[in-house]
């Protein structure tokens, strides 16, 4: 094992290290493995936790909701009341401020951008009729957010993330000075990919933004609101709708969430929480889009959880399954990379990811090496708009899907790849 940091090694020592790492790498390659740390998917045991939800509705169940609505039939455009109460409690918003959608919050975000694009926001020019529309993108961030704005031809401007949220000096400066900036993507709690949570000050500064564009909106994707890893060490955020109201800008934010990583991803329920003005506009569009979303699924979720306490209890079970996986990843990084002084990484208290920063210029080569040894990672660059990480450094690690045993092996291979690429690069730079 390495006892010396790579930067302290001379050429000869590095060459010896490279030979050793190449041999280790070859050994793994010969195992012909197929391991995956690419996407933030719950594992089978996590999905099993929600099987009880299927039992809540049997063929002799009464599918009427509290107000008597028969959930088997058309109607109730914005979602059944009890689902709004449950999801409202989860999102920390009043049921009145909520629309329950279908099975995907990403879909709601897409619709929200799409509506602004074709019809504009509250009487402002539709974005499609403007020469230039821009979005701020805290980086590293979530690739599917960036994909939506890229699809609409919206120019994405990266803003650096910090452990307390995006660089707010930069955000304030940019939105105040450029009317073509219409939005910002945010994952305020246990962010994808770092697992950072915004500080109170960051949330307040968001609420107090004074954008040049009247149709600027904050896209607040609260995907990991109750996804804590620990019982006794959790992040809390002040509530953005409330802060915006206090700051005199109640319409500034769209907040999104879903039960994707609570029950079944792709078969959960999604929601938006926003001001009554924004809701009115959204409802108009919704009325053309659908006669109503899946109320049976809404009812299923309500009957399964009962209330927020039921959800929290359920999330503890998720945490018990995935906590050892996060620990496996972190232990491997500490054990294999810390002694060499290579790379840095986050240590989140919740969410679905660990963010790893390789030495500059190494990420693509590392992901490539890992792939050739049977370990699939999220593509290097994916955490940046247009897939372009200017430092070629960031790699997102998704620990939840593989078993702990697979994860251990995958991380052994990953850290060999990191060291191999780093040493290789150092040696090339010496020559
Ligand atoms: N937002 C974030 C930040 C996510 O990480 C994910 C899932 N990876 C989603 C949204 C997707 O949510 P949904 O399944 O509700 O579309």
Q: What is the pLDDT of residues 259-273, one digit of tens each?
A: 999 999 999 999 999
Name the residue at shortest CA distance from atom 11 of ligand 1.
Answer: 106
Structure confidence at residue 140 (pLDDT):
98
Mean of pLDDT over the chain: 97
C-alpha torsion sign, points 196, 363, 157, 280: negative
Give the confidence band of 2 by pLDDT, cuts at 50, 70, 90: confident
Cα–Cα distance measured from residue 241 to residue 271, given in angstroms and rounded to the nearest whole number: 14
Structure confidence at residue 154 (pLDDT):
98
Q: What is the CATH number of domain 63-306?
A: 3.40.640.10
Model pLDDT for residues 332-365, shown as the tens digit of each residue: 999 999 999 999 999 999 999 999 999 999 999 9
Model pLDDT for residues 75-85, shown as the tens digit of each residue: 999 999 999 99
Structure confidence at residue 370 (pLDDT):
97
Residue 3 has pLDDT above 80, yes or no: no
Q: Is the CB of 142 under 6 A from ligand 1?
A: yes
CA of 395 from ligand 1 middle (Å) equals 18
Contact 168, 202 (CB under 8 A): yes
Span 384-391, average pLDDT: 98
Structure confidence at residue 375 (pLDDT):
97
Q: What is the ipTM of this complex?
A: 0.99
Model pLDDT for residues 410-426, shown as the tens digit of each residue: 999 999 999 999 999 99
CA of 329 from ligand 1 middle (Å) equals 22
376 sits in which H/E element: strand 375-377
Residue 1 has pLDDT above 90, yes or no: no
Q: Is the CB of 104 under 6 A from ligand 1?
A: yes
304 sits in which H/E element: helix 295-305
Q: Is the CB of 415 under 6 A from ligand 1?
A: no
CA of 41 from ligand 1 middle (Å) equals 10
**DSSP labels, 144-194:** HHHHHHHHTTPEEEEEEEETTEE-HHHHHHHHHH-TTEEEEEE--SS-TTT
Return the CATH number of 6-46+312-430, one of 3.30.420.10, 3.40.50.620, 3.40.50.10540, 3.90.1150.10: 3.90.1150.10
Residue 47 has pLDDT above 80, yes or no: yes
CA of 25 from ligand 1 middle (Å) equals 34
Structure confidence at residue 185 (pLDDT):
98
Which pair of tokens denotes residue 245?
């109201």
**Ligand 1 atom closest to Cα of 266?**
14
Parse the chain into domains and list their residue ranges.
6-46+312-430, 63-306
Cα–Cα distance measured from residue 78 to residue 293, given in angstroms and rounded to the nearest whole number: 8
Cα–Cα distance measured from residue 93 to residue 245, given in angstroms and rounded to the nearest whole number: 12
Name the residue at shortest CA distance from atom 2 of ligand 1.
Answer: 223
Give the confidence band of 319 by pLDDT, cuts at 50, 70, 90: very high
Give the confidence band of 39 by pLDDT, cuts at 50, 70, 90: confident
CA of 320 from ligand 1 middle (Å) equals 21
Give the confidence band of 96 by pLDDT, cuts at 50, 70, 90: very high
CA of 257 from ligand 1 middle (Å) equals 8
**DSSP labels, 187-226:** --SS-TTT-----HHHHHHHHT---SSTT-EEEEE-TTTT
Span 88-113, average pLDDT: 98
Give the confidence band of 431 by pLDDT, cuts at 50, 70, 90: confident
Name the residue at shortest CA distance from atom 8 of ligand 1.
Answer: 40
């Amino acid at each position: 094992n390495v006892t010396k940091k790579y930067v302290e090694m001379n050429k000869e020592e590095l060459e010896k290290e490279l030979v050793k790492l190449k041999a280790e790498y070859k050994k793994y390659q010969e195992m012909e493995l197929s391991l995956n740390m690419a996407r933030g998917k719950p594992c089978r045991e996590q999905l099993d936790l929600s099987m009880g939800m299927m039992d809540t509705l049997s063929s002799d169940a009464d599918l009427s909701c509290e107000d008597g609505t028969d959930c088997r039939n058309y109607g109730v455009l914005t979602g059944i009341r009890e689902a709004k109460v449950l999801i409202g409690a989860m999102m920390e918003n009043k049921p009145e401020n909520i629309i329950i959608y279908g099975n995907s919050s990403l879909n709601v975000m897409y619709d929200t951008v799409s509506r602004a694009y074709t019809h504009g926001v509250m009487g402002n020019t539709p974005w499609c009729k403007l020469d230039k529309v821009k979005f701020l993108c805290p980086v590293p961030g979530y690739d599917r957010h960036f994909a939506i704005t890229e699809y609409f031809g919206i120019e994405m401007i990266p803003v650096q993330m910090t452990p307390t949220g995006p660089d707010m000096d930069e955000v304030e400066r940019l939105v105040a000075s450029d009317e073509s900036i219409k939005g910002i993507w945010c994952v305020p709690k246990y962010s994808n990919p770092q697992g950072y949570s915004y500080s109170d000050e960051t949330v307040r500064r968001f609420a107090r933004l004074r954008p040049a564009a009247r149709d600027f909106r904050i896209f607040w994707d609260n995907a990991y609101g109750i996804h804590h890893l620990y019982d006794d060490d959790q992040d809390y955020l002040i509530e953005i709708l409330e802060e915006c109201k206090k700051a005199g800008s109640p319409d500034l934010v769209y907040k999104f969430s879903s039960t994707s990583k609570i029950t079944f991803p792709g078969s959960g329920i999604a929601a938006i929480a926003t001001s009554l003005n924004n809701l009115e506009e959204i409802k108009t569009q919704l009325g053309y889009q659908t006669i109503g979303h899946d109320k049976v699924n809404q009812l299923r979720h309500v009957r399964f959880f009962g209330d927020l306490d039921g959800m929290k209890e359920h999330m503890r079970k998720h945490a018990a399954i995935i906590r050892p996986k996060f620990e496996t990843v972190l232990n491997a990084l500490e054990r294999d990379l810390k002694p060499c002084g290579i790379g840095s990484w986050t240590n989140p208290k919740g969410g679905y990811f660990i963010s790893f920063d390789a030495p500059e210029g190494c990420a693509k080569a590392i992901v490539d090496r890992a792939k050739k040894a049977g370990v699939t990672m999220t593509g290097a660059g994916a955490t940046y708009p247009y897939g372009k990480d200017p430092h070629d450094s960031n790699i997102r690690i998704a620990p939840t899907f593989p078993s702990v045993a697979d994860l251990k092996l995958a991380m052994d291979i990953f850290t060999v790849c990191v060291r191999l690429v780093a040493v290789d690069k150092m040696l090339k730079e010496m020559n």
